[in-house]
Structure 1
Amino acid sequence: MSTTPAREAGRSQGGGTGVLAVTGSTGELGGRVARRLAAAGQEQLLVVRDAARAPELPGARVAVAAYHDEPAARAALSGVDTLFMVSAAEEADRVSKHLAFIDAAVAAGVRHLVYTSFFGAAPDSTFTLGRHHYATEQHIKSTGISHTILRDNLYLDFLPNLAVDRVIRGPAGEGRVAAVARDDVADVAVAVLGEPGRHAGQVYELTGPFAITLEEAAATMTAVFNRAYRYEEETVEEAYASRAGYGAPNWQVDGWVSTYTAIAHGDLAEVTDTVERVAGHPPIDLAEMLRRSNAGG
């Protein structure tokens, strides 16, 4: 793996992906995508904030740029044809970072952008952070760049993190969530990156095979881990009070609580067949995801 500008690889003159750049390769989703591409023999440019943390992958080069650093991002993305953009960490200035990076990609001449958004993103999403994704999507569309939007439901991988001392507490009621595994999102992303033109202009809502309640999620964790998990209902007021001690900013607490209220409102319950249509296989369920996690795979 070497650290070189993308422009040295030249630009594709024919079909296919041309020069492919991947962000987020040090994280859970971007790392999965980068590893899959490497395993398939695809050369790629890993755009990271810290070169020392970039994964060592065959056929991968590294460029350093933060989302908000437009000059560095333009330099890193020069010569790139297709860009996989994982959404930034949940921060107060997340949208402005997204917009700066998108503008840099457009200025650098990126031809196709694949962005990871959130299921049903809207200006009035119950899940408050879904509004960040909607604003980002609108900006992508306004630039005129060819694009594909991957709207991921909550991650199945994230559900165990909701349990504190093996208890999931929140105001989700009996609402259902069609959570999707990161592995399945990564498979969809790789399929899209392999034929970006075929998926241009598409907004893909990605879900698991069925929608479950958090009580059912706790029961599945109990069965797979052979330890007792349970779900305890909170009111919205109780949810805010129970999280007040973390000292987090208001916008972040709103995001935490609205994760549950979005489930309660039914915003995340719709099941789609997109994973199977695009990735070519059915999505896995929570039990299978937990078994893979337990096995380290």
Structure 2
Amino acid sequence: MIGVTGATGNIGGRAARLLADAGHPVRLLVRDASRAPDLPGAEVAGGCDYADAKALAEAFAGLSTVFLVSAKEAANRVEQHKNAVDAAREAGVRHLVYLSFLSAAPDATFTFARDHHATEQYIKSSGLDFTFLRPSLYLEALAAFPIDGVIKGPAGQGRCAFVAQDDVAAVAAAILPQADVHRGRRYDVTGPEALSMERAARLLGVVYLDETLEDAYASRDVYGAPAWEVEGWVTSYQAIATGEMSVVSRTVERATGRPATSLAKWLAQR
């Protein structure tokens, strides 16, 4: 039995559907059971909040492998992840496949990537078997960047191999049923080409404006978001500028047997 957290979300939901359609037994681990997708042969466990380790442990009971989709960005995100890891260990789960992030490191430029590194380290110390999937920034996120036809950010001339969420879910669905084969592995999951923001903007039919760091923070002040969130927004562009997001892997092709989806192809399919 494979558990999938975040099964009402983009990655978890798509991975769960692929697993169920392929005939694998799946338990959908969700906050609100009424929102769980209707999948063939799937079980549903509601009340799964990363802040509630006890409820998670009950939902994880009987599972051998769990796809741990990272929590939504929050100031206490790492603590939420630790709760989920503790719950998995208490419930007897053997293997966690964790949805991390490309170039996760303690000194990563992108501040949210530091959270993923901290979570990876906690999973490693837990005694559980693990596999880390490290996707690049999503094509879907890129498409949401433009405001009034302009993408603004301090990405400079750096490049990023944006990846489609469908591709990330497909990789997860390919790995989860044979998680033991991937024990201790870390996979970068990227698109097929690293694009500059200027090139990506042109493909989207918008304009890219390279901001200074000072201007980037100033232009985002209007949203009234907390400082940690604004820093995450800005440093995602900075990570492109430093080259940390320029990685291009063949993970999608190797796991699924088909090439990763390019931005041009993704736009043509919309």
> TM-score, normalization: structure 2?
0.98
* Partner residue in 2 for 1:166: 149
Match of 1:63 in 2: 45
Aligned pairs for 1:84-103 (under 5 A) are: 84-103=67-86
Counterpart in 1 of 2:242? 265
Report 1:1-297 matches (<5 A): 19-64=1-46, 65-222=48-205, 229-292=206-269, 294=270
Report the residue type matching 2:5 in the other structure.
Answer: T
SS, match of residue 95 in structure 1: helix
Instruction: Tell me if the contact between 1:157 and 1:289 (Cα under 8 Å) persists in the aligned partners.
Output: no
Letter in 2 for 1:261: Q
Q: In structure 1, the residue corresponding to 2:111 is in which secondary structure? A: coil
Q: CA deviation at 1:288?
A: 1.2
Helix, strand or coil for the counterpart of 2:193? coil
Q: C-alpha distance in 1, partners of 2:141/2:222? A: 22
Shift of 1:50: 0.9
Aligned-partner SS, 2:160: coil
CA contact (8 A) 2:2 2:177 kept: no
User: Number of residues paired by the alignment?
Assistant: 269
Secondary structure of 1:269's counterpart equals coil
Question: Following the alignment from structure 2 to structure 1, what is the Cα–Cα distance between the partners of residues 76 and 35?
Answer: 23
CA positional deviation for 1:41: 2.0
The 10-residue stretch of structure 1 (242-251 or 50-59) with the greater mean CA deviation from structure 2: 50-59
Flag as ranges the 4+ runs of structure 1 deviating above 2 A.
none
Q: Distance in 1 between matches of 2:247 and 2:45?
A: 38
**CA offsets 1:135-186 (integer angstroms, 9 cap, x no match):** 0000000011111000111111211111111210111111100111111111
Q: 2:265, 2:5 → 1: CA distance?
A: 27
Give how far 1:127 is off.
0.3
List alignment gaps of at least 5 residues for structure 2: none
How far is the alpha carbon of 1:287 from its aligned partner? 1.2
Amino acid at match of 2:20: A
Describe the superposition over 1:31-76 as per-residue Cα deviations: whole angstroms up to 9, x where unpaired. 1101111221222100011111111111111112111211101110
Q: What CA distance in whole angstroms lies between the structure 2 residues aligned with 1:24 and 1:274?
A: 22
Are 2:155 and 2:237, in contact at CA under 8 Å, matched by a contact in 1?
Answer: yes
Show structure 1 runs of 5+ residues with no match. Answer: 1-18, 223-228
Aligned partner of 1:257: which letter? V
8 Å contact 1:23–1:85 — kept in the other structure?
Answer: yes
In the TM superposition, residue 24 of structure 1 has moved relative to its aligned partner by 1.0
Does the 8 A contact of 2:63 with 2:93 survive in 1? Answer: yes
Contact persistence 2:6–2:13 (CA under 8 A): yes
SS at match of 1:129: helix
1:279 partner letter: T
Deviations 1:8-28 (A, max 9, x none): xxxxxxxxxxx1110111111
Contact 1:24 1:86 (8 Å CA) reproduced:
yes
Larger Rg: 1
Q: CA deviation at 1:279?
A: 2.3
SS of equivalent to 1:268? coil
Aligned AA for 1:232? L
Rounded Cα–Cα distance in structure 1 between residues aligned with 2:116 and 2:256: 23
CA distance in 2 between counterparts of 1:280 and 1:111 reads: 28
What do the CA deviations read for 1:108-155 (whole angstroms, capped 9, x no partner)?
A: 000111000000100010000000000000000001111100011111
How much does 1:280 deviate?
Answer: 2.1
